[in-house]
Structure 1
Amino acid sequence: TRKLMEVCRMRKTPVIVFVNKMDRDGKDPFDLLDEIEEELHINVRPLSWPIDMGQRFRGVYNIYEQKLNLYTPSKQYVTENVEFKDINSPELENYIDAGQAEKLRSDIELIEGVYPEFDVDTYLKGDIAPVFFGSALNNFGVKELLDCFINIAPSPRPVSAVERVVDPEEDAFSGFVFKIHANMDPNHRSCIAFVKICSGRFERNANYKHVRFGKMMRFSSPTAFMAQKKEVVDEAFAGDIIGLPDTGNFKIGDTLTSGEELHFKGLPSFSPEMFKYIENADPMKAKQLNKGIEQLMDEGVAQLFTNQFNGRKIIGTVGQLQFEVIQYRLLHEYGAQCKWEPISLYKACWIESDNTAALENFKRRKAQYMALDKEGRDVYLADSGYVLMMAQQDFPDIKFHFTSEF
């Protein structure tokens, strides 16, 4: 989540926060808001507020619409929806007990006094995140979030390419691959490349230019997804997400256009925080293992580095769970078994320099810790924070990047 929020801050992407499981006892809502601001480095503004929590949970007050939504356990819908322009009205006690009503009034007064008034423009700039409370399992509080989202969500916005800024109102089609999902159907080893349409209109069976390959491609079965359902679409427009069958032609960040040479920036890869050597546990399945690693890395599950000193493959992730996911998917989707070998590393840094001699000198001095990522770029694997700091001081001509987008 922290890494995702870094991407949102880089992209100025608006964010809405939903605080779940209010039907269970937990932290005080104000403490949760403080924690969200501290951990995710974003300003928040509650647009709904819980009436107690756990077994005493009675619902939420929708600040955005000034409505009281009452909750009854075991019923997966809003029991009663009451409009309250003034929560100081004594009628509030007809729906919740006096103690809860008094606390709700004092909480709302504190919110109005401490948090800035919600402004849609500030939200669209990514400077503030509205917060809603509820219980998703009971489908309570979710509708309020979705209704608000419909009202305040941004329309398709201009997207920056290397060459120029692309306006969504343009007639010419353009879009970029932001996600690849391997093995949508394990029986057929199918991959889907998800494309965000930036401008124009996408049409089924029309020819579009794959900019990296420099060739025209035609797609006969583009799909749109809604939860687990998918259907073939004949057309799509700016802001839509479509899935295109991928046989190894796409990488994250690839651009499709009507013919223009455009290069959109893909999602950045952040410097991993956990590293392990990956080894083949079954020599008879080396081919399956290599294919599985290649597809999972293209999908963005983790990052692959090849140590230039010993040629061994290193997997870098931001959490332990990703190692378990990779091992499980390799076994169940590719029939390959892998094993992990710990390696003590602190951080991976992409390096570059305008001074070729200085770059070669650095790579020679740090040969044991140099690697290549899957794009063939130089990566320095620092084994401690102190070593990284000293490297930055000793080699001022070297630029150290902590994301792959530079």
Structure 2
Amino acid sequence: MSTTAEETHNKPAREVADEAARRRTFAVISHPDAGKSTLTEALALHAAAITSAGAVHGKGDRRGVTSDWMDMEQARGISITSAALRIDYGDCVLNLLDTPGHADFSEDTYRVLSAVDCAIMLLDSAKGLEPQTLKLFEVCRARNMPVITFVNKWDRPGREPLELLDEIEQRIGLRPTPLNWPVGIAGDFRGLIDRSEGTYTKLTRTPGGATRALEEHLTPEQAAEAEGETWVQATEEMELLGEIGAEFDEKSFMAGESSPVLFGAALPNFGISKLLQTLVDLAPAPPDPVDAKGERRPLDAPFSGQVFKMQANMDKAHRDRMAFVRIASGRFERGMVLTHANTGKPFATKYTQAVFGSERSTVEAAYPGDVIALVNAAALSVGDTLYAGPKVEFAPIPSFAPEHFAVARAKDSGRYKQFQRGMAQLDAEGVVQVLTSDVRGEQAPVLAAVGPLQFDVVSHRMAEEFNAPVELAHLEYTMARRTDADSAPAAHALSGAEVLKRRADGELLVLIHNKYRLRVIERDNPDLVLEPLLAGGADNDA
């Protein structure tokens, strides 16, 4: 059968559309210690991407979590930097962007949320909605992002399930629609009822939770006989859900108005397979991206993508710099020459990889929704656009308002070149914002951070990766405002304020001691330009 010219022309477009429809790109958001890294491991385990899940504090033959690749993460048992994990599951490709849970690294999480189409909101069964979860949910709400809720740690003592659903609705206005229901109170977890099918999956633990939990499927009659009164209580609670209309609605879910809720326990790997299938069935495929002008760009348009994260020295043997790019449109092929929108210069993509924690594999082709890592990307920064064909540029990714400031100096003046290289690298990655001024000089830049733990990361990486240990002298400033060249001289002369330039983009920031001093400055100098930045940790105006 012959192929027409029109069919030949449309084949690449159909391929891009078909491949994009298979993609699910999502992030996991939570408060620290809700079990996010453990859930990430469990998802990868159930998708057969790994053979044995690790705990954050591994024992025996359990290794560290796959997504926590940095030495400091493994030592402290917290996620410091986001990680990209690509998982093939059935006919779908899941691009899971793991994020730091600690509030001090919320700016990194925000950048990741700019690169995903859906979020899993992870709740601790005992604690419910916590401050960092609320903050990150508001970012999702601002982006109209669909959210799937996973109530974790049901194998430990916790709250009543109906109480948790009520909290979700009352505190964040998100209507919960449970897809499954736990049998047994938190801490006495027996299994899960699938609400749509009415079937029961009984929990059978595996030693240490290092392998997939054994799932025994029972009919309602078998479950009633096995679980007795516990089953009766669970079915009565489900009847109440039906009476209040807590049923899944795709339209409200996609609009960010309701959230399908799943219960489970990530450590023993129970309820994870249902979460994976829910992602496949309900999470959206990549949409047509919107450029900086607010115009829709078709998925099958020529290649375009945006850098949402920079990371250096993931491979200690090569000391390379890697740019993580979310593909927005078109088909990517390794070796293609792209254009860097900021400079108009060509960018070769000979070395392109998919990253699974600390492991890498070469990428030959990728499609909208995929995340690729470009190696030796010294010319790129967070927010940059790369494209093929006619020029396109996406809106920049905003920086958070810093609230902690410290002057950095090299402990050994003979290692000034290494100090400068390290400062430039950490600034480009967004580990901290590096601020400079003629008064302080290049040898004493001011580091600006959302949270103080970012300074610990700077100290660790400067010593370990750049062999240039630093001394940090903390400043009394607690907030920053954006200003312009006309207002800068007057602002710099004010008591309790200082003007510095952000190295990354040249933007002028006014550092101010506290909110009370800011109010006085604004009252006495109404003509000064003092614009708020995107709120980071605590509200800068609170």
Instruction: Tell me the equivalent position of 2:460.
Output: 328
Instruction: Tell me the equivalent position of 1:239.
Output: 369
Contact 1:308–1:370 (CA under 8 A) maintained in structure 2: no
Between stretches 42-51 and 119-128, larger displacement belongs to 42-51
User: What does residue range 106-255 of structure 1 map to in structure 2 within 5 Å?
Assistant: 106-113=236-243, 116-255=246-385
- 1:283 equivalent in alignment to 2:413: yes
- C-alpha separation between the residues in 2 aligned to 1:289 and 1:180? 19
Write the letter of the residue equivalent to 1:205. Answer: G
CA shift for structure 1 position 171: 3.0
- C-alpha separation between the residues in 2 aligned to 1:40 and 1:191? 39
- C-alpha separation between the residues in 2 aligned to 1:39 and 1:341? 40
- C-alpha separation between the residues in 1 aligned to 2:162 and 2:524? 46
User: What does residue range 76-87 of structure 1 map to in structure 2 within 5 Å?
Assistant: 76-82=212-218
- C-alpha separation between the residues in 1 aligned to 2:172 and 2:495? 34
- 1:319 equivalent in alignment to 2:451: yes
Instruction: Tell me the equivalent position of 1:12.
Output: 144
Go from structure 1 to structure 2 and tell me whether the alpha carbon gap of 1:173 and 1:342 turns closer, same or farther (over 3 Å shift). Answer: same
- 1:94 equivalent in alignment to 2:214: no
Between stretches 138-147 and 376-385, larger displacement belongs to 376-385
- C-alpha separation between the residues in 1 aligned to 2:333 and 2:147? 30
Contact 2:406–2:472 (CA under 8 A) maintained in structure 1: yes
Instruction: Tell me the equivalent position of 1:372.
Output: 501
CA shift for structure 1 position 113: 4.8
TM-score normalised by structure 2 residue count: 0.66
| Structure 2: tracts of 5 or more residues without a match | 1-29, 31-131, 537-542
- 1:344 equivalent in alignment to 2:476: yes
- C-alpha separation between the residues in 1 aligned to 2:246 and 2:358? 39
- C-alpha separation between the residues in 2 aligned to 1:69 and 1:122? 28
Instruction: Tell me the equivalent position of 1:87.
Output: none
Write the letter of the residue equivalent to 1:370. Answer: V
Contact 2:481–2:510 (CA under 8 A) maintained in structure 1: yes
Aligned pair count reads 396
- C-alpha separation between the residues in 1 aligned to 2:519 and 2:482? 15
Contact 2:323–2:377 (CA under 8 A) maintained in structure 1: no
- C-alpha separation between the residues in 1 aligned to 2:312 and 2:245? 44
| Structure 1: tracts of 5 or more residues without a match | 85-89
Q: Deviations over 1:40-85 (max 9, x none)?
A: 775543333333356521122333554322112336424312365x
Write the letter of the residue equivalent to 1:326. Answer: V
- C-alpha separation between the residues in 2 aligned to 1:191 and 1:200? 25
Contact 2:154–2:187 (CA under 8 A) maintained in structure 1: no
CA shift for structure 1 position 367: 8.2
Go from structure 1 to structure 2 and tell me whether the alpha carbon gap of 1:281 and 1:102 turns closer, same or farther (over 3 Å shift). Answer: farther
CA shift for structure 1 position 259: 3.2
Write the letter of the residue equivalent to 2:420. Answer: N
Given candidates 399, 403, 408, the residue that maps to 1:273 is: 403
Go from structure 1 to structure 2 and tell me whether the alpha carbon gap of 1:297 and 1:357 turns closer, same or farther (over 3 Å shift). Answer: closer
- C-alpha separation between the residues in 1 aligned to 2:186 and 2:304? 49
Go from structure 1 to structure 2 and tell me whether the alpha carbon gap of 1:338 and 1:114 turns closer, same or farther (over 3 Å shift). Answer: farther
Between stretches 301-310 and 15-24, larger displacement belongs to 301-310
- C-alpha separation between the residues in 1 aligned to 2:197 and 2:405? 48
Contact 2:158–2:187 (CA under 8 A) maintained in structure 1: no
Contact 1:168–1:198 (CA under 8 A) maintained in structure 2: no
Write the letter of the residue equivalent to 2:533. Answer: F
Between stretches 120-129 and 36-45, larger displacement belongs to 36-45
Write the letter of the residue equivalent to 1:236. Answer: A
Contact 1:349–1:402 (CA under 8 A) maintained in structure 2: yes
- C-alpha separation between the residues in 1 aligned to 2:165 and 2:405? 33
Aligned-residue identity in percent: 32
CA shift for structure 1 position 250: 0.5
- C-alpha separation between the residues in 1 aligned to 2:195 and 2:338? 47
Q: Deviations over 1:93-124 (max 9, x none)?
A: 223231x2233134324444557432222222
- C-alpha separation between the residues in 1 aligned to 2:290 and 2:519? 33
Go from structure 1 to structure 2 and tell me whether the alpha carbon gap of 1:174 and 1:28 turns closer, same or farther (over 3 Å shift). Answer: same
- 1:381 equivalent in alignment to 2:511: yes
Contact 1:156–1:168 (CA under 8 A) maintained in structure 2: no
Instruction: Tell me the equivalent position of 1:68.
Output: 200
Report which structure shows greater RCO (CA 8 Å, sep ≥6).
Answer: 2
Go from structure 1 to structure 2 and tell me whether the alpha carbon gap of 1:65 and 1:218 turns closer, same or farther (over 3 Å shift). Answer: farther
CA shift for structure 1 position 332: 2.0
- C-alpha separation between the residues in 1 aligned to 2:147 and 2:422? 33
- C-alpha separation between the residues in 2 aligned to 1:29 and 1:122? 22
Contact 1:392–1:400 (CA under 8 A) maintained in structure 2: no
1:252 alignment partner, SS class: coil
Write the letter of the residue equivalent to 1:58. Answer: R
Go from structure 1 to structure 2 and tell me whether the alpha carbon gap of 1:207 and 1:309 turns closer, same or farther (over 3 Å shift). Answer: same
2:238 alignment partner, SS class: helix
- C-alpha separation between the residues in 2 aligned to 1:46 and 1:155? 22
1:122 alignment partner, SS class: helix
Go from structure 1 to structure 2 and tell me whether the alpha carbon gap of 1:176 and 1:348 turns closer, same or farther (over 3 Å shift). Answer: same
Write the letter of the residue equivalent to 1:127. Answer: E
2:378 alignment partner, SS class: coil
CA shift for structure 1 position 254: 0.9
Contact 2:321–2:376 (CA under 8 A) maintained in structure 1: yes
Go from structure 1 to structure 2 and tell me whether the alpha carbon gap of 1:81 and 1:285 turns closer, same or farther (over 3 Å shift). Answer: farther
- C-alpha separation between the residues in 1 aligned to 2:408 and 2:199? 55
Write the letter of the residue equivalent to 2:532. Answer: H
Between stretches 179-188 and 56-65, larger displacement belongs to 56-65
CA shift for structure 1 position 19: 2.5
